[in-house]
Amino acid sequence: MRLILLGPPGAGKGTQAQRLVQKHGLVQLSTGDMLRAAVAAQTPIGLQAKELMASGQLVPDEVVVGIIADRIEQPDAKNGFILDGFPRTVPQAEALDGLLKKKKLNLDAVIELRVNESALLHRVEKRVVEMLARGENVREDDKPEVLSKRLHAYREQTEPLVHYYSEKRKLLTIDGMMTIEEVTAEIERVLAAVIAADKSADSAKAARRKSAAKTGKAAGTAKKATKKAAGQSAKKTTKKAKKGTRTASKSAKKGSAGSARRGAAVKVRTKARRAGKVAKKTAKKAVKAVKRLTKRG
């Protein structure tokens, strides 16, 4: 499971992130912690970040993305992770999308803890008073005036991510003004729905692959059967054609012989008719000659 927690300072992201880590075995990835770890390990990108920080420059997005890319390759992140403090801007979110796509990973959900800023400031002021009453030190970030500045920065830089991830249908919004336990229960409820939807999608995908495999197999079988039938049909057709050719050849021969015999008979009959005519003419001449001789005698 790969998650992002969104929400203004004081919304309770850190508390809920720790609960998710314990329940689901995820790794909480803080950009600050990752930068310090990369610098300490003296990785190539860590050394680059060290030089930038030493010169007082902000670490650019591509360096932060590079550190995240290295971190999520580690074994403890294989089960999933929660990004803390990144992305803070839309360009960072786009860079993260490119990284996950390159690694063929999906972002499962972006959980927004929505709070009322006035109520949040009042909550912080109350907490500061209680800490002071107990004699505890108050962190600079917990002071109301500092929180006001951080809330303004959140609205300007990070809040556009709500619209960005909403368009991608990754955003799950939860009322961060509920109690800690209620927020935790609601996060678990929406994540259970996401997991169920993912399983359903995976099952549907597997069913489509299985169906496609069956269809392909059936198509292959049909192709073979068609080819076999076509081959058999071609053989039969060829055999019939050969037989027809032989029959035609015999008929032609018979026809030729018959024609020759009929031709000879015609010639004989013609000659006989001619001979008969000649004989008749000769007989007539003989009769005429006899009659002439009789008259003279």
262 carries an active-site annotation = no
Q: What would the mean pLDDT of 74-101 be, rounded to a whole number?
A: 91
Among 2-6, 102-106, 189-193, 286-290, the minimum mean pLDDT is found in 286-290
Among 197-206, 213-222, 249-258, 277-286, the minimum mean pLDDT is found in 249-258
295 carries an active-site annotation = no
139 carries an active-site annotation = yes
Say which of 88, 114, 123, 170 is annotated catalytic: 88
- Residue among 49, 63, 72, 65 nearest 97 (CA): 65
2 carries an active-site annotation = no
Are the CB atoms for 11 and 112 separated by under 8 Å?
no
Say which of 19, 36, 127, 143 is annotated catalytic: 127
Say which of 139, 228, 242, 274 is annotated catalytic: 139
Q: What would the mean pLDDT of 57-80 be, rounded to a whole number?
A: 87
Say which of 2, 13, 50, 71 is annotated catalytic: 13
Omega within 30 of 0 (cis) for the link into 87 = yes
Average pLDDT score, the chain: 81
pLDDT tens digits, 128-174: 888 888 888 877 767 778 888 888 888 888 999 999 999 999 999 99
Structure tokens at 170: 């990754």
273 carries an active-site annotation = no
C-alpha torsion angle, residues 89, 95, 101, 107 (rounded to 10): -20
Task: Band the pLDDT of 105: cuts 50, 70, 90.
Answer: very high
pLDDT tens digits, 119-134: 888 888 888 888 888 8
Predicted confidence (pLDDT) at residue 179 exceeds the cutoff of 90: yes
Q: What is the pLDDT of residue 258?
A: 53
